[in-house]
Structure 1
C-alpha cells in the first residue's frame, strides 16, 4: 500500500509538484503541467525547470518563447548536470541573435527567483521544519508494509520502501542535495523530449 506517499510528499514540495506536473503532462494538459512545474521550480527542482524549458521551446500550453526557454534551461543546468548542460548548449545553438539578446536581458529576473541561491534555501527550510514535526517510530509504524510513490526520471513511478522513510538523504538539506546530484548527474537517454534539437546532438555550440 502507498499509505505514506501523501505525508511524505507534503514534506517535499519539489517532488509533490513535479509529480503533479508530470501527471498533467501525460494527459496532455500542458498549461496545467506548466503551472505545477513552476511551483516545483521554486523549490530548486532542476528536472521541473527542464520541463518548463521544453514546454516553452515547443509552444506547449502557451505560445513558444525560445529565449525564455533558454533562460529556464540555463537555470536547470547551473549545477553542471551533464545532460542538462548539453540541452542548454543545444538551445543556445538554435537561437537567433535577437533571441540570444532577449535571453540575456530577461534571465536575471528569472534567476533571482528560481536560481539555486534563492530556491535552495526554500526547500532547506521546509525539510528542516518537517523533520522537526515528524512523529512515529523510526523502526515500527512507518516501516512495515509502507511504500512511498515518487516521480522518478522520465516521469515514471519510483517506489521507496518505508524502511527508508527517515533516511538522512530525505531530510537533511545537504544529504538531500547529494541524493539529487547522484540521480541527475549522469545523463539518461530519453529523459526529456527535445524534438527538433535531436538532430543537433553532434553539432558544436556557436560562440
Structure 2
C-alpha cells in the first residue's frame, strides 16, 4: 500500500514551496527567486531583519516581485535598513511592474505620502534600480538558471522526464517522486514559470509575505510606472547574503 506521501508523488503541487518532498529533492537549487525569498522570510520571522532585507534583495535580483515588495516595505518602515521613503517607492513601483494589483495599491499609497522632493528622487534613483532588478534584466538571468539546472539534472534524458524517478529520504526508506511532477514545465519553462507566478500574484495575496495589508486600487486603473525606462544590466553583480541556513524550508507553517 502506498504511503500518503507516495500517493501524491505523481501530481505537480500547486505551490512547490509548500511541498516538503519537492524541496527535499533540491527544487530550490534551480529556483533562486523562491530560494532566497524563503530564506528572507525565515530570517524575517526570526527577527533578523537586516539579514532578511539582504535575502529579499537577492531574490529580487532574479525578478521575484514579492521580495521586491518586501524590500520596498522595509525601506518604507526602516525595518532592517535605513528608512528611505523615496527608494521604498521605487522598489514598490518595481514590484508593480507586472501589474499585480496588491503591489499597485501599496505603490499608490506611498506616492500620495511623498513630498515633491521625495517624488523627484524616487523617479531619478529608481532608474538604477530598474536597470539592475527590472524584468528586462532579471528574467534572462532566471531563465538561464532554470534551463541550466534542468539540463544538469536530466542530461540527455530531457523530454523523457516522466520516466525519471527522484528519490529522497523518508520514513522507512526512500520515497520516489516522478519526473513528471518535479520537472513539470510550469516550473522550468521560463514563460510558463512566469505565467504560474502571474496566476498567483495578479490578485491581491500580499499577506503571504507580510508586505503591509492588501491594498485595492480605487477608481480608474493606476498609471504605469512613473520611472523612465533604463537599459537593463543583465550582468549586474548579484547581491551578497549571509551563509544560508536552509533547514526547515520544507516544513513551513506560515499560512
Shorter-chain TM-score: what band? 0.7 to 0.9
Query: Which residue in 2 is equivalent to 1:41?
Result: 60
CA distance in 2, matches of 1:22, 1:94: 27
Query: Which residue in 2 is equivalent to 1:66?
Result: 85
> Aligned Cα RMSD in Å?
2.9
CA distance in 1, matches of 2:105, 2:135: 19
CA distance in 1, matches of 2:73, 2:99: 18
| 1:139-166 Cα shifts (integer Å, max 9, x gaps) | 452389468xxxxxxxxxxxxx975211
TM alignment of 1:16-55, pairs within 5 A? 16-55=35-74
User: 5+ residue gaps in structure 2?
Assistant: 6-19, 168-173, 223-255
**Alpha-carbon spacing, 1:60–1:203, altered in 2? closer, same or farther (3 Å):** farther
Which structure has more relative contact order (CA 8 Å, sep 6+)? It is 2
The runs of at least 4 aligned residues of structure 1 exceeding 6 Å deviation read 200-205
CA distance in 1, matches of 2:206, 2:150: 34
What SS does the corresponding residue of 1:78 show, helix, strand or coil? coil
More helix by share: 1
Which structure has the larger Rg over C-alpha atoms? Answer: 2
Aligned residue pairs, count: 192
Relative to the length of structure 2, the TM-score reads: 0.67
Relative to the length of structure 1, the TM-score reads: 0.82
CA distance in 2, matches of 1:138, 1:83: 37
**Alpha-carbon spacing, 1:91–1:146, altered in 2? closer, same or farther (3 Å):** farther
CA distance in 2, matches of 1:68, 1:56: 7
| Native 8 Å contact 1:142 1:163 kept in 2 | no
User: 5+ residue gaps in structure 1?
Assistant: 148-160
**Which of 108, 111, 122 does residue 92 from structure 1 map onto?**
111
